[in-house]
């Protein structure tokens, strides 16, 4: 087996590991392995190839991984926020800083006020943010 073939197989193993353990960790090594495989076509010095692998692994961790994780986290943040923030809802139970309930899209949500004011049942409110299963609202 030729050296570049072995390195490509290592890169494929790293990709398979990334598929089964999605952590944006092994993808960096796979990218470095493929670049090292290309470099092995020009040089057979093991120390040079090891340095290329480590350098590109480090660069991938330093620059590519943060970009991929940033995009991944952005997708996670857009769940409830986009659907409810800025929408109007009806107060079912009086809302205070400690408890309350609203109804929006025929769904019941726990609600709180940020400023500690009390909003009576039957009022209309606007959702300003959410924290897990609690919507924070202000009176309209």
Which of the 8 DSSP states describes residue 39?
H
Cα–Cα distances in angstroms (integers) from residue 135 to residues 18, 24, 37, 87, 95, in the given order? 36, 32, 52, 11, 11
- The rounded percent of the chain whose pLDDT value lies above 70 is 90
Cα–Cα distances in angstroms (integers) from residue 57 to residues 10, 22, 26, 45, in the given order? 13, 17, 10, 18
Measured CA to CA, the distance from residue 113 to residue 127 in angstroms comes to 10
pLDDT in tens, 22-81: 778 898 999 999 999 999 999 989 999 999 999 999 998 888 877 777 755 444 444 555
**Structural domains of the chain, with CATH:** 3-77 (no CATH), 84-139 (2.40.50.140)
pLDDT in tens, 49-61: 999 999 999 998 8
Terminal-residue alpha carbon distance, the chain: 72
pTM of the full structure:
0.50
């Amino acid at each position: 087996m030729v050296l570049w073939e072995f390195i490509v197989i290592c890169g494929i193993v790293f990709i398979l590991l990334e598929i089964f353990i999605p952590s944006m960790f092994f993808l960096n090594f796979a990218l470095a392995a493929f670049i090292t495989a290309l470099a092995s076509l020009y040089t057979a010095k093991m120390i040079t190839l090891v340095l290329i692998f480590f350098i590109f692994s480090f660069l991938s961790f330093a620059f590519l991984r943060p970009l991929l994780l940033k995009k991944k986290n952005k997708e996670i943040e857009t769940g409830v926020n986009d659907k409810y923030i800025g929408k109007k809802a009806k107060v079912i139970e009086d809302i205070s800083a400690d408890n309350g309930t609203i109804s929006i899209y025929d769904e019941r949500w726990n609600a709180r006020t940020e400023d500690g004011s009390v909003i009576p049942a039957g009022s209309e409110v606007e959702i300003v943010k959410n924290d897990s299963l609690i919507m924070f609202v202000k009176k309209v």
